[in-house]
Amino acid sequence: MARRADKQEVKATQHASGEARTLAETLPRLILEARKIAATVIHGLHGRRRAGPGENFWQYRRFLSGEPARRVDWRRSARDGILYVREQEWEAAHTVWIWPDRSPSMHFTSALATESKLNRALVIAFSLAEVLVHAGERVGVPGLMRPTGSRNVLDKMGNAIVHDVTERLSLPPSFVPSSLSEIVLVSDFWSPMGEIRHTLSRLSATGAHGHTVQVVDPAEETFPYDGRVEFIEPEGGGSITAGRAEAWKADYDKRVARHRAELRAETDKLGWSFAVHRTDRPATELLLALHARMAAPPPGAVVGGRVQSRRSA
């Protein structure tokens, strides 16, 4: 028994070493690509603006019951007959937790795409980290890296990922972000909706705001299969063979639409943003949209005399 266990451990170690070596060989290219994308996005963008201690005016927002009356801007409030509070721009560093899904399902690449969902998720995570640190923010990776504002944040993230020996889960590990933190989850989000709902509820319990990005292969959107096809679930769910795969398309489309609608409803309920990104689309496209969502004022804020609605995709 001991000898058999030793052999199994050796095989597991060899397998893990092979995966780590492959990832280590790929990361430099991904980091280089991320830096190029980040440079494109950074050009012409200003740092994110948030309410907090500072000297520069940022925005007006509606007065909340229970706040001290001294915070009311009476001159601005008199114009509309509504009580407004004048907020200053926050000058302190903000913490953003970025979690790229590295589970087995993210390795999928169809003939319609040039790279895997995993590669795209890592490029997005690296690019966003570069942009945020450049803007003076602090970036962390749940379970892997403490928040840092270091300019070599990509090297730190890459090293943390390469040397990670934990199981590659489909959803982020349990951690408690502060109420002022922001969370970005980049995943294919094909986990059961109950598990996703529980995870999002746990992460938002402290009041932290978040953004979810569903990275999908174009084949997962279009279901371009016909004839006899064997579908293999990469995370231990077995396999199933379709005699005429094209006959499954209508039901598949309905299931994807239902799952996505439930995911969007959950993020809307929590005030989180939700976006879908296909790996055959430019990563820059998503990064620009994601940065814009993160820079937008929170729901209920008043900018230019208008009350901002809930942020959504």
* 119 and 246, same domain (yes or no): yes
Taking alpha carbons only, the member of 76, 100, 204, 197 closest to residue 154 is: 100
Residue 304 in domain: no
End residue of a domain, out of 37, 65, 88: 88
* Residue positions counted in the chain: 313
CA gap 52, 58 in Å, rounded: 9
Res 310: pLDDT? 42
Res 293: pLDDT? 85
Residue 306 in domain: no
Per-residue pLDDT tens over the stretch 144-159: 999 999 888 998 999 8
* 210 and 71, same domain (yes or no): no
* 139 and 183, same domain (yes or no): yes
When divided into structural domains, the chain yields a total of 2
Residue 44 in domain: yes
Residue 128 in domain: yes
Residue 66 in domain: yes
Domain residues for the domain of 83 are 57-88
* 77 and 190, same domain (yes or no): no
**302 or 105, higher pLDDT:** 105
Looking at the predicted structure, is the pLDDT value of residue 303 above 80?
Answer: no
Res 185: pLDDT? 97
Looking at the predicted structure, is the pLDDT value of residue 5 above 90?
Answer: no
pLDDT-based confidence at residue 312 (cuts at 50, 70, 90): very low
CA gap 222, 81 in Å, rounded: 52
Per-residue pLDDT tens over the stretch 70-124: 878 888 888 888 888 876 654 445 899 999 999 999 999 999 998 999 999 999 9
Res 302: pLDDT? 44
Residue 177 in domain: yes
* 36 and 65, same domain (yes or no): no
Residue 101 in domain: yes
Looking at the predicted structure, is the pLDDT value of residue 37 above 70?
Answer: yes
Least confident segment among 9-13, 154-158, 160-164, 265-269: 9-13
* 63 and 210, same domain (yes or no): no
* 70 and 134, same domain (yes or no): no
CA gap 86, 104 in Å, rounded: 48
End residue of a domain, out of 32, 67, 88: 88
Res 74: pLDDT? 86
Q: At what angle do helices 117-134 and 153-162 cross, to 10 degrees?
A: 150
What value does the mean pLDDT take over residues 177-189? Answer: 92
* 278 and 134, same domain (yes or no): yes
Looking at the predicted structure, is the pLDDT value of residue 11 above 70?
Answer: no
pLDDT-based confidence at residue 301 (cuts at 50, 70, 90): very low
* 29 and 173, same domain (yes or no): yes
* 179 and 102, same domain (yes or no): yes
pLDDT-based confidence at residue 190 (cuts at 50, 70, 90): very high
pLDDT-based confidence at residue 56 (cuts at 50, 70, 90): low
Q: In angstroms, what is the C-alpha Rg of the chain? A: 22
CA gap 177, 97 in Å, rounded: 8
* 28 and 109, same domain (yes or no): yes
Per-residue pLDDT tens over the stretch 206-264: 889 999 999 999 999 999 999 998 887 777 767 888 888 899 999 999 999 999 999 99
Looking at the predicted structure, is the pLDDT value of residue 4 above 80?
Answer: no
- Sign of torsion over alpha carbons 182, 188, 193, 198: negative
Which two structure tokens, joined as six digits, stand for 12?
């597991």
* Contact call for residues 299 and 310 (beta carbons, < 8 A): yes
* 64 and 127, same domain (yes or no): no
